[in-house]
Amino acid sequence: MRKGFIYIRLQIYFTLLVLVIGSAMFLAWNIWQKNLQLHTRLKENLLVQNVLDKMAEDILYAEKIDVQADRLLLTKDGVDYLYFLNNQRLARRKDANLYLTPAKIVLHSLSFEQENGILRLVLSGEKQIWDRMVRL
């Protein structure tokens, strides 16, 4: 009879151990997933920030700039560049389209606002809006 109680007690302890380890693994998995999502979002944000910095640099050194509501035409070193939104991605056209943002970053609008010698570049995506100001 005593051996039966010890066996039942061991089964209870083993079940509790499995539950504790399982819940710890589940918690660790959730933390890892959230960390991965945050890392991906920060990586996308950094990529778009770098693209906007490159656009701002091109605008600073441009010889001629033609600002429209949703596209920007500039001449740099005698070559015409056109920045515009194509298939929800930011593109730059010199001879052919060069996509500056990856397909997984969905952009809804690209706009340019110009006043008092300052050009404001605004990119809006699904969850965030990025902007950059450039003095002309």
What is the three-state SS of the chain?
CHHHHHHHHHHHHHHHHHHHHHHHHHHHHHHHHHHHHHHHHHHHHHHHHHHHHHHHHHHHCCCEEEECCCCEEEEECCEEEEEEEECCEEEEECCCEEECCCCCCCEEEEEEEEECCEEEEEEEECCCEEEEEEEC
Q: Using one digit for the tens of pLDDT, what is the confidence trace for 86-125? A: 878 888 887 767 878 877 888 888 888 888 888 888 888 8
pTM above 0.75?
A: no
